[in-house]
């Protein structure tokens, strides 16, 4: 099967930038997604990128995609304590199923 890999933890200070990295294995994925999960809650879609794009920016969020290396990153500028959560990278296969990474726990200290 295909695996989506993420580092498990990231700790930053409030106001710094956070960069969460992800590698995926299916080069045929059409879309790649970043979801946020707060404690005890469901998954909230933060942003996604189409596979023919290199970068997408949405307010404090910047997604970079390197198709050659199958590497995806999410940069959060000016990280706030409210950004503390688990961030999941996911890829779209066969038009319906999402394959998720195990999630990166972002801890923001003030």
Q: Which residues of this protein are in contact with other proteins, per CB under 8 A?
A: 4, 30-31, 33, 35, 40-45, 48, 50, 88, 92, 95-98, 100-103
- Token duo for residue 37: 């999960």
CB of 21 to other proteins, least distance (A): 16
CB of 101 to other proteins, least distance (A): 6
CB of 92 to other proteins, least distance (A): 5
Looking at the Cβ atoms of 5 and 14, the one nearer to other proteins is 5
Residue 14 CA to residue 59 CA, distance in Å, equals 17
Residue 72 CA to residue 64 CA, distance in Å, equals 6
Looking at the Cβ atoms of 14 and 46, the one nearer to other proteins is 46
Q: Which stretches does DSSP call E strand in 8-84?
A: 9-13, 18-23, 31-37, 43-50, 55-58, 61-66, 71-76
């Amino acid at each position: 099967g295909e695996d989506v890999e993420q580092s498990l933890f990231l700790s930053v200070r409030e106001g710094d930038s956070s960069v969460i990295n992800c590698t995926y294995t299916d080069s045929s994925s059409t879309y790649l997604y970043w979801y946020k999960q707060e404690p005890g809650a469901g998954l909230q879609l933060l942003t996604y990128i189409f596979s023919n794009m290199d970068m997408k920016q949405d307010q404090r969020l910047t997604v970079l995609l390197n198709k050659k290396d199958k590497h995806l990153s999410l940069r959060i500028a000016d990280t706030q304590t409210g950004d503390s959560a688990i961030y999941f990278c996911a890829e779209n296969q066969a038009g319906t199923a999402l394959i998720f990474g195990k999630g990166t726990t972002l801890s923001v200290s003030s």
